[in-house]
């Protein structure tokens, strides 16, 4: 029996309209394929008041180390206007060598390649890896992401699961398959700068204290001094103000308070705690004894992480070079993904299809990219378990 191709698996997944929080049968496709190949498959549902229950899947074959996991999500963002698609958003149609559908690159296509590569690897190796292979698949990544990867990892840890390395099949490539591996992401921390003044009549400013010139001075101070100069794997951290508000409808009243929102994307020179301390120290210096200001930090679950270039990234890079002839860029730019949660448990990189059409009308991938990504994952398995 020959293993199913990535294309046929991807089509089965794309035909399930699994817009978060719906599963619409997507995890069942994986459950059948992995179960038939001898994986121990678990379907786990997580709940949280105020959010929809979400279906997740964990499947493992093998009991020994090393343990390589493929992670991803089967949920997709909404299709938008279906009539705007040249092929139905959930049709899984192929035309001119392209596979169409919501999730084709983000990221049902990537999952299909990982499953196809794994089934082929197992078929060629007597049905068992020299170690363990698992799949960590959530249905809750694209929306609020509370009943997904975070809880699935906790659930697995409580069962005694230990992961050595993980590949998240998000569409990491920018232009062409093989151009980029994401080896980390910056952390994200938001806050509100609050400056207290004293409300008063504009005609009697000596009886008031206007927070507007003060917050302007503090914004300049915090904005202008770099947080760092970047690191080996990261660009410099950046503090960006996104709004300034006094909520004052009057032209004859000095407001009592001014607020400014900001977000910081920070690199591995900082943790959330040291970053907050640094910003607060700079704020205190800029305030002196005169300005009354403070920062309200917003909750953040986006810590910085990086998998430093080494044996594991070499395995992935050499598999990529073998198939595509390209040496991938090891990159840490862009927004956050579930990899930030996985990084707390094991080394993780992101490598999948090309991201150009993700979240767009006519999301699509060349079938040749599915073939290349499958061959790359196959090469990773070969090297990892040699």
Catalytic positions are 75, 141
Contact with Zn ion (CB under 5 A) among 12, 23, 106, 214 = 106
- Provide the 8-state DSSP code for 220: H
> Would you say 201 is a known binding-site residue?
no
> Would you say 240 is a known binding-site residue?
no
Contact in structure between 213 and 230 (CB atoms under 8 Å): no
Angle between helices 367-384 and 311-324 (to 10 degrees): 140
For the CB of residue 140, give the shortest distance to Zn ion in the complex, in Å: 11
The closest alpha carbon to 141, from 356, 345, 359, 308, belongs to 359
Largest CA-CA distance found in the chain, in angstroms, rounded: 88
Q: With respect to Zn ion, which residue has the nearer C-beta, 214 or 363?
A: 363
For the CB of residue 346, give the shortest distance to Zn ion in the complex, in Å: 20
Q: With respect to Zn ion, which residue has the nearer C-beta, 247 or 335?
A: 335
Asked if 75 interacts with Zn ion (CB under 5 A), we say no
> Would you say 359 is a known binding-site residue?
yes
Contact in structure between 99 and 352 (CB atoms under 8 Å): no
Contact with Zn ion (CB under 5 A) among 98, 107, 227, 256 = 107
> Would you say 170 is a known binding-site residue?
yes
How far the first Cα of the chain sits from its last, in Å, is 25
Looking at the chain, how many residues does it have? Answer: 386
For the CB of residue 351, give the shortest distance to Zn ion in the complex, in Å: 13
CA distance 59 to 33: 11
Angular region, 185: left φ>0, alpha ψ -120 to 50, beta rest: beta
Q: With respect to Zn ion, which residue has the nearer C-beta, 316 or 353?
A: 353
For the CB of residue 352, give the shortest distance to Zn ion in the complex, in Å: 8
CA distance 209 to 212: 9
CA distance 106 to 13: 12
For the CB of residue 141, give the shortest distance to Zn ion in the complex, in Å: 6
Q: With respect to Zn ion, which residue has the nearer C-beta, 12 or 106?
A: 106
Measured at CB, which residue is nearest to Zn ion?
106
Strand pairing class (200-201; 98-100): unpaired
| Number of CB atoms found within 10 A of residue 64's CB | 10
For the CB of residue 340, give the shortest distance to Zn ion in the complex, in Å: 13
Angstrom distances, CA of residue 45 to CA of 58, 74, 77, 112, 138: 11, 14, 20, 22, 10
Kindly state the number of chain residues that form the binding site for Zn ion, as judged by CB under 5 A. 3
Find the part of the chain contacting Zn ion (CB under 5 A) among 21-29, 99-107, 156-164, 172-180.
Answer: 99-107
Q: With respect to Zn ion, which residue has the nearer C-beta, 76 or 254?
A: 76
CA distance 322 to 344: 30
**Residues 135 to 194 in contact with Zn ion, rule: CB under 5 A:** 170
Kindly state the tokens that stand for 265. Answer: 């994307």
Q: With respect to Zn ion, which residue has the nearer C-beta, 61 or 76?
A: 76
- Provide the 8-state DSSP code for 2: P
Find the part of the chain contacting Zn ion (CB under 5 A) among 102-110, 155-163, 290-298, 364-372.
Answer: 102-110
Binding mask 193-212 for Zn ion (x = CB under 5 A): --------------------
Binding-site annotation: residue ranges: 73, 106, 142, 170, 359
Binding site for Zn ion (CB under 5 A): 106-107, 170
């Amino acid at each position: 029996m020959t293993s199913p191709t990535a294309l046929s698996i991807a089509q089965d997944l794309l035909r399930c309209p699994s817009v978060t929080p719906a599963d619409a049968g997507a995890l069942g496709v994986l459950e059948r394929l992995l179960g038939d190949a001898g994986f121990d498959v678990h379907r786990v549902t997580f709940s949280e008041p105020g959010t929809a229950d979400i279906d997740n899947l964990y499947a493992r074959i093998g009991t020994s180390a090393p343990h390589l996991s493929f992670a991803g999500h089967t949920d997709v963002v909404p299709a938008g206007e279906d009539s705007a698609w040249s092929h139905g958003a959930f049709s899984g149609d192929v035309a001119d060598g392209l596979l169409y559908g919501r999730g084709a690159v983000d990221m049902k296509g990537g999952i299909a390649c990982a499953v196809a590569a794994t089934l082929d690897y197992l078929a060629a190796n007597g049905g068992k890896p020299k170690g363990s292979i698992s799949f960590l698949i959530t249905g809750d990544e694209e929306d609020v992401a509370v009943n997904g990867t975070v809880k699935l990892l906790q659930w697995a840890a409580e069962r005694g699961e230990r992961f050595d390395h993980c590949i998240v099949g998000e569409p990491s490539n920018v232009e062409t398959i093989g151009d980029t591996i994401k080896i980390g992401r910056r952390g994200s921390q938001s806050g509100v700068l609050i400056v207290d003044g004293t409300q008063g009549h504009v005609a009697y400013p000596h009886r008031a204290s206007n927070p507007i010139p003060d917050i302007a001075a503090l914004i300049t101070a915090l904005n202008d001094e770099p947080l760092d100069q970047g690191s080996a794997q990261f660009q410099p951290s950046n503090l960006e103000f996104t709004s300034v508000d006094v909520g004052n409808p009057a032209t004859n009243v000095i407001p009592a308070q001014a607020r400014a929102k900001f977000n910081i994307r920070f690199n591995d020179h900082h943790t959330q705690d040291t970053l907050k301390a640094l910003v607060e120290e700079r704020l205190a210096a800029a305030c002196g004894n005169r300005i009354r200001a403070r920062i309200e930090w917003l909750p953040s679950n986006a810590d910085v992480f990086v998998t430093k270039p080494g044996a594991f990234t070499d395995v992935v890079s050499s598999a990529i070079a073998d198939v595509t002839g390209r040496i991938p860029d090891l990159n840490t730019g862009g927004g956050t993904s579930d990899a930030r949660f996985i990084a707390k448990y094991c080394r993780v990189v992101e490598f999948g299809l090309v991201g150009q059409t993700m979240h767009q009308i006519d999301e699509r991938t060349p079938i040749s990219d599915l073939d290349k990504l499958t061959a790359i994952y196959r090469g990773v398995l070969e090297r990892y378990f040699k």
